[in-house]
């Protein structure tokens, strides 16, 4: 029996060992894991980083990407980029008020008396006003592509902030062997794609990554930081990825803090129950 099994294993190994040509498939460069202040069960957001990331979003991303679930007042919520214990009511927070008042775009409303569209400055109760009034306008301005809303971007991509960082830093010159690259598209090693139909070189060495419709958004020190932190592309990318992680999961700090207390409580409660159990069952042979 054992001999038969060994023969079967050898035969299987021989059969499986036969190499076959690599099939065309979607590829992307493996994600590099970044150091995040919010990793692990006790990791919290770094408020300075969230402020820097918010600045990158405001000055760069928000030109094309909406963030429909973030209101100005959310920026001053506990755990948020401009949270301050001095302003438990985030509507009193002067930073939040100033950001809303200086936002580059106005809120479109209907004038109640005339029914005509009207415009006003945003207040802290408003959503961060989107760059385009609707998806069609957004596509028309972006070569047919729709820049995704960023509120849940980190939650909606495998790898979350690591993926956002990888995309923002993954732009490379189009490799020499690529022919007929689509116009208005940009080669990015982290963007999942299949370049085999453009590739004229060795079919077993198709470059990883794909073509993305977004032009490289960041350059060194395109955004400068008020706290004097470095502003290379990698720094800007890391900070904006952290900000977008916060935008996806703004209650994380609170969740982990409560979670730690819950764990301690449950640990003690379980011990008490265990000793009650031992005490009640002490006379039962079982």
Give the interface segment with another protein, choosing from 27-35, 52-60, 96-104, 247-255 (CB under 8 A). Answer: 247-255
Nearer Cβ to another protein, position 152 or 178?
A: 152
Stretch that binds another protein, among 9-17, 89-97, 204-212, 231-239 (CB under 8 A): 9-17
**Closest separation between CB of residue 222 and another protein, Å?**
28
Classify each residue of 50-89 as buried b or exposed e, where b means 16 or more C-beta atoms within 10 Å of its C-beta.
bbbbbbbbbebbbebbbbeebbbbbbbbebbbbbbeebee
**Site size for another protein, by CB under 8 A?**
41
Strand pairing class (117-120; 186-188): unpaired
106 binds another protein (CB under 8 A): no
Closest distance to another protein from the beta carbon of 193 (Å): 12
How far is the C-alpha of 233 from the C-alpha of 257, rounded, in Å?
Answer: 33
Give the one residue of 105, 139, 172, 256 binding another protein; rule: CB under 8 A: 256
Nearer residue to another protein within complex by CB, 187 or 246? 246
Q: Per CB under 8 A, does 4 bind another protein?
A: no
Among 62, 74, 138, 245, binds another protein (CB under 8 A): 74
**Residue 160, C-beta contacts closer than 8 angstroms, at least 6 positions apart:** 154, 245, 248
Stretch that binds another protein, among 11-19, 56-64, 177-185, 223-231 (CB under 8 A): 11-19
Is 251 among the residues that bind another protein (CB under 8 A)? Answer: yes
Residue 211: strand pairing partners: 187
CB 124 within 8 A of CB 74: no
Taking CB under 8 A as the binding criterion, the range among 30-38, 137-145, 201-209, 262-270 that sits at the site for another protein is 262-270
Q: For the segment 110-169, give every residue that binds another protein (CB under 8 A).
A: 148, 151-152, 155-158, 160
Which residue in 17, 85, 173, 183 binds another protein (CB under 8 A)?
17
20 lies in the site for another protein, by CB under 8 A? yes
- Closer by beta carbon to another protein, 46 or else 149: 149
CA-to-CA distance for 42 and 64, rounded, in angstroms?
Answer: 34
Interface residues with another protein (CB under 8 A) are 15-20, 26, 41, 69, 74, 148, 151-152, 155-158, 160, 248, 250-251, 255-256, 258-260, 262-263, 266-267, 269-270, 273-274, 276-277, 280-281, 284-286
């Amino acid at each position: 029996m054992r001999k038969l099994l060994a023969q079967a294993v050898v035969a299987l190994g021989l059969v499986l060992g036969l190499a076959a040509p690599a099939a065309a498939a979607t590829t992307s460069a493996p994600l590099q894991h970044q150091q995040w202040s919010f990793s692990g069960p006790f990791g919290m957001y770094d408020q300075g980083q969230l402020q820097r990331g918010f600045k990158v979003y405001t000055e760069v991303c928000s030109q094309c990407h909406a963030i429909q679930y973030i209101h100005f007042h959310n920026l001053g919520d506990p755990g948020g980029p401009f949270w301050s214990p001095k302003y438990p009511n985030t509507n009193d927070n002067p930073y939040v008020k100033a950001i809303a008042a200086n936002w580059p775009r106005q809120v479109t409303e209907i004038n109640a008396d005339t029914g005509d569209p009207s415009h006003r400055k945003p207040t802290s109760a408003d959503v961060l006003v989107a760059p385009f009034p609707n998806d069609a306008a957004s596509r028309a301005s972006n070569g047919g592509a729709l820049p995704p809303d960023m509120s849940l971007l980190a939650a909606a991509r495998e790898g979350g902030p690591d993926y956002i960082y990888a995309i923002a830093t993954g732009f490379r010159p189009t490799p020499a062997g690529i022919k007929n690259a689509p116009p208005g598209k940009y080669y990015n090693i982290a963007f999942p794609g299949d370049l085999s139909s453009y590739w004229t070189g060795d079919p077993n060495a198709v470059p990883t990554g794909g073509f993305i419709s977004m032009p490289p958004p960041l350059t060194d020190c395109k955004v400068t930081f008020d706290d004097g932190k470095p502003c290379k592309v990698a720094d800007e990318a890391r900070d904006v990825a952290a900000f977008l992680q916060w935008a996806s999961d703004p209650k994380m700090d609170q969740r982990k803090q409560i979670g730690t207390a819950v764990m301690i409580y449950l640990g003690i409660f379980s011990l008490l129950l265990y000793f009650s159990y031992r005490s009640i069952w002490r006379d039962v042979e079982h």
